[in-house]
Amino acid sequence: MSDAPRHRPPTSRETAFTLVEVLVALALLALVLTVVAPLSGLFGMARASETSLTLDARLFEASERVRAAWRNPANYAGRCGVTVDANVRVTASALDGSSGPTPASTCSTFQLHPPALLRVRVALGETILVFDVARPEGR
């Protein structure tokens, strides 16, 4: 026989990854995902959230314009004096059932005794905001 060393087959322990190698690989993968995911738009939640906030802000602004305009008793009685964006629809109806929904952008007939409460509906696309406005003092 020859004196040359024989090669023995590797054991499973010698061919497997160590725990340290697995943890390092996971850490690198997590680092790459945190950098690449926002850049690729993978989650797209930021855009949807921004759109929702924009819609909410526009509806809130329209509702504040309605409230501000209708502090004047004449505007409240005629359901007018409201200026909003073209895409925003504002309607008002009396809660006592005396009148149905009317657009708030056009003045309806002046009422000598306007209702105590108006239900206001502000809509922008599929998003709707509903609130009540009380008759201002002095009427």
Please write the tens of the pLDDT for every residue from 27-64.
999 999 888 776 766 566 667 777 777 888 888 888 88
For residue 121, tell me if it sits in a domain: yes
**Helices marked H in 1-139:** 12-15, 19-40, 45-69, 73-78
Which DSSP symbol is given to 54? H
Instruction: Look up the domain containing 126 and give its range.
Output: 59-134
What pLDDT was estimated at residue 12?
Answer: 61
Q: How far apart are CA 48 and CA 36, in angstroms?
A: 19
What pLDDT was estimated at residue 86?
Answer: 81
For residue 34, tell me if it sits in a domain: no
Q: How far apart are CA 79 and CA 92, in angstroms?
A: 7
End-to-end CA, the chain: 119
What pLDDT was estimated at residue 45?
Answer: 67
Tell me the backbone φ, ψ of residue 65, rounded to 5 degrees: -65, -40
For residue 53, tell me if it sits in a domain: no
Domain count within the chain: 1
Cβ(35)–Cβ(59) under 8 Å?
Answer: no
For residue 54, tell me if it sits in a domain: no
What pLDDT was estimated at residue 29?
Answer: 94
For residue 117, tell me if it sits in a domain: yes
For residue 26, tell me if it sits in a domain: no
For residue 108, tell me if it sits in a domain: yes
What pLDDT was estimated at residue 21?
Answer: 92
Low-confidence spans in the chain with pLDDT less than 50: 139
For residue 88, tell me if it sits in a domain: yes
What pLDDT was estimated at residue 20?
Answer: 93
Q: How far apart are CA 74 and CA 112, in angstroms?
A: 10
